[in-house]
Chains A and B, each alone.
Chain A
Amino acid sequence: MEDILEKLTIAVKKGKADKNSPYPPDMKGKDGADELTAEALKIGFSADEVLQKALVKGMHLIGEDFSAGRAFVPEMLMAAKAMKAAMKHIEPFFKSGSVKQKGAVILGTVQGDLHDIGKNLLGMMIEGAGWKVIDLGADTPFEKFKTALEEHPGAIVGMSALLTTTMVNMKGITEKIKAMNPETVVMVGGAPLSQDYCEQIGADFYSPDPQGATAFLDQLVS
Chain B
Amino acid sequence: MEKHFTVRLEPLGKKIRVPAGTPLKDILFSYGVEFPCGSKALCGGCRIKVLEGEVSVDTSHRRALEKLGLSDPWRLACRSQVTGDVVLEIGQFDTFILADSTPFRFRPRAGYGIAFDIGTTTLVAQLVNLQSGEVVAVETGVNPQARYGGDVISRIEYAVLQGGADELTRLIREKFSKMTRRLLCKVKEVPPEKILVAGNTVMHHLFCGHDLTPMAAYPFETSHGGECCFTAGELGLPADHTEIVFLPILGSFVGSDILAGILATGMAESEQPVVLVDLGTNGEIVVGNREHILCASTAAGPAFEGTNIRMGMRATTGAISSVMVENGTVRNHIIGNEQARGICGSGLIDAIAVFLEKGDIDLGGRVTTEDERLHLTPQVYLTQKDVRELQLAKSAIASGLQILMEEMGISAGEVKNVFISGAFGTFINLENTRRIGLLKFPEEKIIKMGNTALLGTKMALFEEEEVIRDILEKTVHLSLESNPRFQDIFAENMIFT
Which chain A residues have a beta carbon within 8 Å of chain B's beta carbons?
69-75, 77, 111-117, 120, 138-139, 162-166, 168-169
Contact = CB atoms under 8 A, between A and B. Distances in A.
B491 A77 contact: yes
B217 A166 contact: yes
Given A69-B385, A169-B217, A74 B299 contact: no
Contacts of A139: 218
Contacts of B216: 112, 163, 165-166
Contacts of B154: 164
Given A112-B217, A115-B481, 8 more contacts: A70-B384, A72-B388, A74-B492, A112-B216, A114-B481, A139-B218, A168-B161, A169-B217
A69 B388 contact: yes
B157 A112 contact: no
A117 B367 CA distance: 23
Given A72-B388, A112-B217, A115-B481, A164 B153 contact: yes
B156 interface: yes
A180 to B, nearest CB: 23
A70 B366 contact: yes
Specify the main secondary structure of chain B where it touches its partner.
helix
Nearest to B391: A72
A132 B160 CA distance: 38
Interface of B: 153-154, 156-157, 160-161, 216-218, 299, 364-367, 372, 384-385, 388, 391, 479, 481-482, 487-488, 490-492, 494-495
A74 B364 contact: yes
Nearest to B372: A69
Contacts of B384: 69-70
Nearest to A68: B384
Nearest to B492: A74
Contacts of A164: 153-154, 157
Nearest to A70: B366
B156 to A, nearest CB: 5
A162 B216 CA distance: 12
Given A77-B488, A117-B487, A162 B157 contact: no
25 contacts: A69-B366, A69-B367, A70-B384, A72-B366, A72-B494, A74-B364, A74-B494, A74-B495, A77-B487, A112-B218, A113-B218, A115-B299, A115-B481, A116-B487, A138-B218, A139-B218, A164-B157, A165-B156, A165-B157, A165-B160, A165-B216, A166-B217, A166-B218, A168-B161, A169-B217
B137 to A, nearest CB: 38
A17 B83 CA distance: 65
A74 B395 CA distance: 11
A73 B388 CA distance: 9
Contacts of A75: 364
Nearest to A161: B217
Most buried by A among B154, B217, B388, B481: B217
Contact of B364 (A71, A117, A163, A169): A71
B494 A114 contact: no
Contacts of B218: 112-114, 138-139, 166
Given A139-B218, A165-B153, A165-B156, A73 B481 contact: no
A169 B213 CA distance: 13
Contacts of A165: 153, 156-157, 160-161, 216-217
